[in-house]
Amino acid sequence: MSYADFAVLTRTSDQLRIIAEGFETCGIPFQIASRRRLFKESGVAEVLALLKVLSGGGTYADFEKVAAIIAPNLGRRVIATFKEWCLKNRLCLTDGLSSAVRFPIPGLSRNQQRALTDFAGRLSTIDRETSSLTAKERLLHLTSDPDIAAFFAEEKSREALNRIVSMAANLEANAEALSIAAPCIRIPMFIIHGRRRRH
């Protein structure tokens, strides 16, 4: 038997860390399979944040991650001022970005405002270029950008990206199967709902 014939399952990541330390000490080769770990790999969280921002569901934390890879010179002060202005005016991230293009933000210099506007424009361009693509195609397109591709220079990061791309492809296949089955599912639900009204 080889090491590949064995698996260790744990309930918590704390247990996993202890076992991994023991394996390392004893020189036993191992691999940790965890989605949490996958999402923490360099570049993965940033690309997923970018996808969320492009889809209109991004948060200000996602905005900061995206700014770090697409506009690293934007600066913490600009991001903090923009975020504070959006929250004060009760704007979600998407509305805040479109408003920042049209209105000056108090506390930002012209150069800072221009940098923020350029960043919002770049996001808009990326969205236009990728909006008709599937999630898998969008991920591959985004990671071909030199600023983003730099995050996937290491083998572990590339493997993580490949797993995310594979997951996206599987989700698309499942979504397509569900959309085909959806009319069949809706009919019985409608009939049951119709019967309740008759009583």
The predicted model gives 99-104 an average pLDDT of: 92
Q: Say if residue 52 is in the same domain as residue 126.
A: yes
Tell the burial category of 164 from Cβ atoms under 10 Å away from its Cβ (0-12, 13-18, 19+).
buried
Which of the pair, 167 or 33, is modelled with greater confidence? 167
Q: Provide the CATH number for the domain around residue 145.
A: 1.10.486.10
48 and 83 assigned to the same domain: yes
Same domain, 123 and 27: no
Higher-pLDDT residue of 90, 16: 90
Yes or no: say if 107 and 133 are a contact pair by the CB < 8 Å rule.
no
102 and 81 within one domain:
yes
Distant-in-sequence, close-in-space partners of 108: CB < 8 Å, separation ≥ 6: 78, 81, 82, 116
Q: How far is CA 148 from CA 26, 144, 162, in A?
A: 37, 7, 14
Is the domain of 76 the same as that of 25?
no
Q: Is the pLDDT of residue 182 over 60?
A: no
Instruction: Please report whether residue 71 resides in a domain.
Output: yes
Residue 70 domain-assigned (yes or no) = yes
- One-letter amino acid for residue 185 of the chain: I
Same-domain status, 86 and 129:
yes
Q: How far is residue 127's CA from residue 131's CA, in Å, rounded to a whole number?
A: 5
107 plus 159 within the same structural domain: yes
In this model, does residue 119 exceed pLDDT 90? yes
CB hemisphere CA count around 89 (13 angstroms): 18
Domain count, the chain: 2
Same domain, 91 and 131: yes
Residue 191 included in any domain: no
d(CA 25, CA 11): 22
Neighbouring C-beta atoms of residue 79, cutoff 10 Å: 18
Within a domain: residue 184? Answer: no
- Mark whether 28 and 53 lie in a shared domain: no
- pLDDT(174) > 50: yes
| Same domain flag for 1 and 72 | no
Which residue range forms the structural domain that includes residue 26?
Answer: 1-33
Indicate whether 29 and 58 sit together in one domain.
no
Instruction: Tell me whether residue 163 is in a domain.
Output: yes
Question: According to the model, what pLDDT value does residue 80 have?
Answer: 95
Give the pTM: 0.67
Does residue 195 fall inside a structural domain?
no
Query: Is 180 part of a structural domain of the chain?
Result: no
Is residue 60 domain-shared with residue 130, that is, in the same domain?
yes
Q: Check: CB of residue 82 under 8 Å from CB of residue 113.
A: no
pLDDT in the model for residue 177: 52
Looking at per-residue pLDDT, the higher value among 160 and 101 belongs to: 101
